[in-house]
A and B are shown apart, each in its own frame.
Chain A
Amino acid sequence: MSRERPLSPHLQIYRPTLTMTMSIVHRITGMGLYFGTAILAWWLTAAASGPNAYAVFESFLGSFLGRLILFGYTWALIHHLLGGIRHLIWDAGYGFGPHEREWLARASIVGSVGLTILLWAIGLLVVGSAR
């Protein structure tokens, strides 16, 4: 016979906060990067295989979906990197205060979005220039 047992309160009882969201986003970006490494392996294999294989890869990356994935991958990588620095600061014993942790979270978001846009702007300028 099964009976309803009292359960201790879990995450859903708390009002969502920015640091909570950042915690799960760190895991989600990590998982995205995990599967994204397959694209990295494909890129290198295509380059090693020859011009035809490389053309297939380039056509994928040049498509709207390919660009979208690459843009997402860039942001995920930078966000995960900045989030990782945040975790290293915590590991060292700093940044736990209510003001500090909020500031770190906001800085990570602004930094990751800003750096992603900056890198893509540089990248598009390089591609746009005569090489």
Chain B
Amino acid sequence: MKPEGFHIRTPLARVRGLGAAHAGTRHFWQQRLTSVAGIILTVGFFFVVGSVLGRNHAAVVQILGSPLVAIVTLLFIINSVYHMWLGMQMIIEDYVHDDLRKLITLMANTFFSIAVAFVAIYAILKLSFGV
């Protein structure tokens, strides 16, 4: 008779294995984590957009550089970019089968995501601290 909680694989093998990608459920989990955070941050971002609607450049600069607005916007961008990077990786892995094309598009995904995040983060930091 099998003992309670019997597994054919040893506990060590189960911990070490982590599946074909050797990352376990990390991709899945982080996609969910960023989606839950995204719900809250998107609501916050709508308030940010609402606060600058119809205002002139000087007012927009002042609002976007104020601590609370800058923090919400920064969190929204970092969370969104990480979420979209994970999502696009999944789309590429699903639809791009040629090895070289897959490598190139996966690289392009990372380059685009980092570029967008860096540009946006730099702009907010400049609005907050810069001249």
Q: Which of B3-11, B36-44, B99-107 contacts A (4 or more CB under 8 A)?
A: B36-44
Judge if A4 is at the interface, Cβ distance under 8 Å. no
**Inter-subunit contact A91/B77 (CB<8 Å):** no
> Could you write out 9 A-B pairs with CB less than 8 Å apart?
A37-B120, A38-B116, A40-B116, A44-B120, A51-B57, A84-B39, A87-B35, A88-B32, A127-B53
Compute how far the CA of A85 lies from the CA of B80 in the bound complex, rounded to whole angstroms: 15
A residues engaging B (CB < 8 A)?
27, 30-31, 33-34, 37-38, 40-41, 44-45, 47-48, 50-51, 54-55, 77, 81, 84-85, 87-88, 91, 119, 122-123, 126-127, 129, 131
Cα separation A129 to B120 with both chains bound (whole Å): 29
A85 to B36 Cα, complex, angstroms: 8
Closest to B76 in A: A40
Question: What sequence of 0s and 1s flags, for each residue 62-85 of chain B, a beta carbon within 8 Å of any chain A beta carbon?
Answer: 001000000001000100110010
Whether B127 pairs with A37 at a CB distance below 8 angstroms is no
Q: Known contacts A45-B119, A47-B64, A77-B42: does B124 contact A131 (CB below 8 Å)? A: no
Chain B, residue nearest A58 (CB) = B57
Chain B residue nearest in CB terms to A126: B53
**Chain B residues near A48 (CB-CB < 8 A):** 61, 122-124, 126-127, 130
A120 smallest CB distance to B (angstroms) = 11
**Total A-B contacts with CB atoms under 8 angstroms apart:** 83
Establish whether residues B54 and A126, one from each chain, have CB atoms under 8 Å apart when the complex forms.
yes
Is B123 touching A88 in the complex (CB atoms < 8 A)? no
- Per the bound structure, the CA–CA distance linking A34 and B127 in Å amounts to 24
**In the complex, B50 has a CB within 8 A of chain A:** yes
B42 near A44 with CB under 8 A, answer no
The yes or no answer to B16 lying at the interface (CB within 8 A) is no
Contacts of B130 in A (CB 8 A): 48
Is the pair B119, A34 in contact by a Cβ cutoff of 8 Å? Answer: no
- By a CB distance below 8 angstroms, the chain A residues around B32 are 88, 91
Nearest A residue to B118, CB-CB: A41
Q: How far is the CA of A30 from the CA of B84 in the complex (A)?
A: 7
Task: Determine the residue in chain B with the shortest Cβ distance to A115.
Answer: B46
Residue of B nearest to A129 (CB): B54
